[in-house]
Every structure is written in structure tokens, then in C-alpha cells.
């Protein structure tokens, strides 16, 4: 296990180089001059040029990239143009925790409902329950997050008054965003679980377990589900990593001050350091989540060789 973890950590290095390079180049080729924005609208050309010199924008591109990576390694992502606060402080003190909570709740919602629906569908193949659940999964995949969020607000907040319309902090405020964010993931997990379970249930060792008189419950949950979870874990990891950086729409609909809204607000204000830092943090988290998924494979099924 230690050798595997060490190898995977080494493999992450070129991935992280690619991530930082992509983020760095993206922010350099989008329209707008950071020096002109930071100097202010009334700045003269000399002041703008002085700001470019202070920011190091006149240096060769590879020098700027090396400096950017070096600063990022020690946690220095620059200062926000809007607030003049350090980007890392802006991200981790107020926004990061909210988005992680939302992603965890959305993933938990997706896993709970997705696994339940997938197991029921696989064990009752071609039944009314199977067809109904897979139809619901198809609908869940088809509905955009913003539309689902608006519909949930209309019914449960505006009409019934059961839950608050927006905000974050209390458990009542977390229900609708978690459902909105987790519905698409639940649909994907349900379909993947059903497919994996059906494949495993046709294996010889499952037939042998039934022939020995092992109960349905034990066969399904101890033998079939554990082996069917491998591809499902991959989907869950991708879902969680995606939700960390892809909760922009949900946070906007429910007026949640997370990383998603921070990115939108920073783009509108042309706050390049904040946009760059937020995207980099989300990308790094996505890579780390998938690293943890690889380790989870071994924990689920010890017969898997991690080499």
C-alpha cells in the first residue's frame, strides 16, 4: 500500500504541472489587462506601465510561470483586486468550507438515493419498480440544475413555505441545494449501480452462493454489492470532484456565498488573481479526490492489486 501511494503521489506531479500551466495560460490569454484594471480607470500610460513592472508582467512568460508556481507552492496566490486581501485568505476563511459542505451533502444525497435505486432495479430486473426507477433516473439526468432548483423553491418555499428560499447555515437551508446538486449524480450512480450489479449477479460465484442456500440479502449486500461498487466509486469520486468546482449554478440559484459565486463575482469584476486562485484550488481538489478514490479501491476489495 505504501509503495502504491508513493507511486500515485509521483504520478500526480505531472498532472499538477499540467493543471497549473493550463490555469496560468488561460488567465494570460483572456481579454483584459490586469495592470490597467489594478491601476484604475484614470491611470495614465506611465502608471499602467509601472503597475505591469510591479506585477512582473513584462518578464518572459516562462519566468512568470515559474514564479507563479513557486508562490503557489507556499500558498501565495496573490491579492484580490476587489478587496486587496490575499486570495488564499478570501477563499479558505469564508467560501471554501461552504462549498465543501454543499459538495459533501450533494454527494451524500446522490450516493444514498443512487445506490438504493440501483440495487432495487438490479434485483428486480424488468419489473415495474425497475422501469420506474430508471425512467426517474433518465429524467433526473435531463433536468438542468437551475431549473430543478427553481421548481423546488417554487413548491417547497414559495407555495408550501416549508423551507427557506435561500441562504446557508441551518439544516433547513441545506435541504433544497443538496437535492438540487445531488439529483444528477443520483441518476448516474443508479444507472451505474444497476449495470454493475447485473453483471456481478451473473457470475458463477453468485450462482454457487445461491446453490449453497445463502440468503438473498447476504448474497446481494456481502458478495454482489461489494464487487459492483468498484466502478460506482469511480463515478462518486468524479461527482464529488466535479461538485467542488461545478456548484456555480446551484450557489447562484440559492444565493449561497461559496466558491462558485466567488468565481462569478470575480469574473464580473475582472479580478484575475481571484479567478486564477479559485480555479487552481478547485482543480487541485479534484486531483486529490481522484487520488483518494484509487486508494478506496483497495479498501473495498482487497484482492485488487495496486500496482
Distance of alpha carbon 149 from alpha carbon 163, whole angstroms: 13
281 assigned to some structural domain: yes
- Are residues 38 and 112 both part of a single domain? no
- Are residues 157 and 283 both part of a single domain? yes
- Are residues 116 and 64 both part of a single domain? no
Pick from 73, 104, 119: which residue ends a domain? 73
156-194 burial, b if ≥16 CB within 10 A, otherwise e?
A: bbeeeeebbeeebeeeebbbbbbbbbbbbbbbbbbbbbb
In Å, how far are 35, 112, 159, 171 from 106, measured between CA atoms? 39, 10, 24, 13
Distance of alpha carbon 29 from alpha carbon 148, whole angstroms: 35
Q: What is the pTM of this model?
A: 0.77
Q: Residue 32: give the domain boundaries.
A: 2-73
Distance of alpha carbon 258 from alpha carbon 278, whole angstroms: 11
The pLDDT score that the predictor gives to residue 209 is: 80
Rounded percentage of the chain residues whose pLDDT exceeds 70 = 92
What CATH number has the domain bearing residue 112?
1.10.3720.10
- Segment 237-244 shows an average pLDDT of 74
Backbone φ and ψ for 48, nearest 5 degrees, come out as -65, -45
227 assigned to some structural domain: yes
Contact assessment for residue 114 and residue 188, using Cβ atoms and an 8 Å cutoff: yes
- Are residues 195 and 155 both part of a single domain? yes
Higher pLDDT, 237 or 66: 66
Tell me: the pLDDT tens digits for 51-75? 777 777 777 888 888 888 888 888 8
163 is written with which cell numbers?
A: 423551507
Is residue 179's pLDDT more than 80?
Answer: yes
- Are residues 130 and 271 both part of a single domain? yes
- Are residues 59 and 145 both part of a single domain? no
33, 37, 39, 43 alpha-carbon torsion, rounded to 10°: 90
Pick from 39, 73, 107: which residue ends a domain? 73
Distance of alpha carbon 91 from alpha carbon 122, whole angstroms: 43
Q: What is the pLDDT of the chain when averaged over all its residues?
A: 82
Higher pLDDT, 151 or 301: 151
- Are residues 117 and 231 both part of a single domain? yes
Contact assessment for residue 305 and residue 121, using Cβ atoms and an 8 Å cutoff: no
Tell me: the pLDDT tens digits for 18-27? 888 888 887 7
Please tell me the number of Cα atoms within 13 Å of 190 on its side-chain side: 28
- Are residues 122 and 253 both part of a single domain? yes
- Are residues 157 and 11 both part of a single domain? no
307 assigned to some structural domain: no
Pick from 40, 73, 106: which residue ends a domain? 73
81 assigned to some structural domain: no
87 assigned to some structural domain: no
The pLDDT score that the predictor gives to residue 248 is: 78
- Are residues 21 and 113 both part of a single domain? no
- Are residues 41 and 123 both part of a single domain? no
- Are residues 214 and 279 both part of a single domain? yes
The pLDDT score that the predictor gives to residue 20 is: 86
Total domains in the fold of the chain? 2
Higher pLDDT, 235 or 152: 152
Contact assessment for residue 261 and residue 252, using Cβ atoms and an 8 Å cutoff: yes
Amino acid at each position: 500500500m505504501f509503495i502504491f501511494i508513493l507511486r500515485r503521489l509521483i504520478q500526480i506531479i505531472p498532472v499538477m504541472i499540467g493543471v497549473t500551466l493550463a490555469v496560468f495560460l488561460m488567465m494570460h490569454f483572456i481579454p483584459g489587462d490586469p495592470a490597467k484594471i489594478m491601476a484604475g480607470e484614470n491611470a495614465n500610460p506611465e502608471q499602467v506601465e509601472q503597475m505591469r513592472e510591479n506585477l512582473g508582467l513584462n518578464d518572459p512568460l516562462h519566468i512568470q510561470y515559474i514564479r507563479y508556481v513557486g508562490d503557489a507552492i507556499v500558498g501565495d496566490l496573490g491579492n484580490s483586486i476587489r478587496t486587496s486581501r490575499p486570495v488564499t485568505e478570501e477563499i479558505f476563511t469564508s467560501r471554501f468550507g461552504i462549498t465543501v459542505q454543499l459538495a459533501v451533502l450533494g454527494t451524500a444525497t446522490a450516493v444514498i438515493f443512487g445506490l438504493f435505486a440501483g440495487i432495487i432495479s438490479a434485483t428486480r430486473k424488468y419489473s415495474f419498480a425497475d422501469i420506474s426507477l430508471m425512467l426517474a433516473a433518465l429524467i433526473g439526468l435531463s433536468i438542468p440544475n437551475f431549473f430543478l432548483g427553481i421548481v423546488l423553491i417554487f413548491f417547497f418555499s414559495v407555495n408550501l413555505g416549508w423551507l427557506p428560499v435561500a441562504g446557508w447555515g441551518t439544516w433547513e437551508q441545506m435541504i433544497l441545494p443538496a437535492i438540487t446538486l445531488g439529483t444528477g449524480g443520483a441518476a448516474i450512480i443508479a444507472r451505474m449501480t444497476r449495470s454493475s450489479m447485473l453483471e456481478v449477479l451473473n457470475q458463477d460465484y453468485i450462482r454457487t452462493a445461491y446453490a449453497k442456500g445463502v440468503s438473498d440479502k447476504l448474497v446481494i449486500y456481502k458478495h454482489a454489492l461489494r464487487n459492483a461498487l468498484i466502478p460506482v466509486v469511480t463515478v462518486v469520486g468524479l461527482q464529488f470532484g466535479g461538485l467542488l468546482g461545478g456548484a456555480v449554478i446551484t450557489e447562484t440559484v440559492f444565493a449561497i456565498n461559496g466558491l462558485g459565486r466567488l468565481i462569478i463575482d470575480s469574473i464580473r469584476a475582472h479580478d484575475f488573481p481571484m479567478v486564477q486562485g479559485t480555479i487552481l484550488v478547485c482543480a487541485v481538489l479534484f486531483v486529490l479526490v481522484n487520488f483518494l478514490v484509487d486508494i478506496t479501491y483497495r479498501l473495498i476489495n482487497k484482492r485488487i492489486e495496486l500496482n
